[in-house]
Structure 1
C-alpha cells in the first residue's frame, strides 16, 4: 500500500481585503506573507510544491522553492472559484444591491450561482480533476499545495463525502494548514484528514 501526504496551505492576507477576490489577481500584504511564513519550521517535510498561479499563492510558493530547492509546479485548475460580477465587491455591497442572489447563494450554492460566475459543480469538477492528476503524477511523496479557501473547502468536502451545500460550514482562515493522507492499493484510494487549521 502506498501513501501520499498532501498539506493544503491557504494564502495569507491580501490587498483588497474584504472583497470577493475570486480569480482576480490580488497581491499578498506583508502581514499575509508573515502569516504563511509562520507555519514553516526549520525542518520542512515536503518533496514537491504545487501552487495556484494567482500571485497571492504563487509568489510565496516561488520564494519557498527558491530558498529550499524544492521543485515547483503551477496548476491552474487549483485557482479559486470565479465569482463573476461579485469579484472585487464586498459582501455588504452585494447584500445591499442584490439581496436575492446573495442570500440564495449561501442558502444553496449548488442551485444559486452568482451572476456570470462559475457554477459550483464546474468548480468541483476541475478541482477534483486536478487532485486526481496530482496524485497520479506525484504519488508517494509529501506535497505542499498552496491554494485558496474555496479549493481547500471543496477538497476537504470531497474527502469527507460532505454535500456541496455544506461547503461554507468549513472555516479556512488565512494561512490555514490542513494535512491529508491518501492510501492506494492499486484498486482505489482511501483518503483521511489528519488535521485542519493546524501548524507543522
Structure 2
C-alpha cells in the first residue's frame, strides 16, 4: 500500500498598500506590485486541489481569485491571521526605534521574550498556528494544497517543520513573489513533515 503524501505550497502575501509597516490586525490590502508578484508565482501552477487562506484583506481576495480561476474549493480560517502587533500596528520599524531604541531590537533577537505593547504574545501566536497546522495535515491528507498567508505565519510554519527555536524566527527571509513547499508523509509510525523547497521564485 502506498504511503499518502500531502504537498502544501506556502504563498506569502507581502508588499502592502500601507507600506513597510507592522500589519497584523491592520486592514491593509496588497499593493499592485504585491498582487503582480503573487500572480506571477502561481502562473505555471495548476495542480492544486484546494486553496487555504487567512481571512485578512491582504490574503483572501487573492486566494478567492486563485480558487475561482482554477475551479478549486476555498477554505479560509480566522486563526490563520498574522500576529497582532498591538500599538505597533501601522507603524514602521524605524518609527518604533525612534520611540524606544531597545524594545524592537530585543523583539527581533527573540520574539518569544517580549510582547508588543497591547499585542499578542509569540507563545499564543505559535500555539494557534501550530494547532491549525496539525488540522491541515489531517483534513487534507494526500492532497496538493496552496496556503496563502502573511509572512509571519509562513515563517512560523517553516520554523515548526524544521524544529527551529524562536530566537531563529527572523533568520527566515520571506520575500514577495516566492513560494515554499512542505511535504508531509503519513504512515503507521506517524506524520512526517519536511521542507522541500524554500523561497523559490517563478
Q: Are residues 194 and 109 of structure 1, via their aligned partners in 2, closer, same or farther at CA, if it must alter by over 3 Å?
A: same
Is contact 1:178–1:198 with CA below 8 Å preserved after alignment? yes
Relative to the length of structure 1, the TM-score reads 0.96
Q: 2:77 & 2:188 partners in 1: Cα distance?
A: 25
Q: Take 2:34 and 2:40, find their aligned partners in 1: how far apart are those partners?
A: 10
Matched, 1:187 2:189: yes
Aligned residue number for residue 106 of structure 2? 104
The size of the alignment, in residue pairs, is 200
TM-fit CA distance, 1:74: 0.3
For the aligned residue pairs, the C-alpha RMSD in angstroms reads 1.2
Q: For each residue in 1:77-131, what CA deviation from the matched residue of structure 2 results, as whole angstroms up to 9, or x when unmatched?
A: 1110111110100111100102232122112211111111111111111001111
- Give the secondary-structure state (helix, strand or coil) at the position aligned to 1:192: strand
Partner of 1:82: 84
- Tell me the alpha carbon deviations over residues 105-163 of structure 1, each in whole angstroms, 9 at most, x when there is no partner: 11221111111111111111100111111111111000000001101111111000100
**Residue of structure 2 in register with 1:128 after alignment:** 130
- Structure 1 residue runs without a partner (length 5+): none
Residue 196 (structure 1) aligned to one of 190, 195, 198: 198
Structure 1 residues 149 and 43, CA, compared in 2 at 3 Å: closer, same or farther? Answer: closer
**Equivalent residues of 1:39, 1:177 under 8 A apart:** yes
Separation in structure 1 between the aligned mates of residue 201 and residue 182 of structure 2, nearest angstrom: 13
CA distance in structure 1 between the partners assigned to 2:43 and 2:105 by the alignment: 41
Q: 1:188 to 1:28 in 2, by over 3 A?
A: same
Q: Which residue is 2:55 aligned to?
A: 53
Correspondence 1:144 to 2:146: yes
Q: Flag the 1:42–1:93 CA change in 2: closer, same or farther, 3 A.
A: closer
Task: Tell me which residue corresponds to 1:92.
Answer: 94
1:19 aligns with 2:17: no
Counterpart contact for 1:80–1:148, Cα < 8 Å = yes
Task: Please point out which of 63, 66, 76 is paired with 1:64.
Answer: 66
2:157 equivalent in structure 1: 155
> Scaled by the length of structure 2, what TM-score is found?
0.95
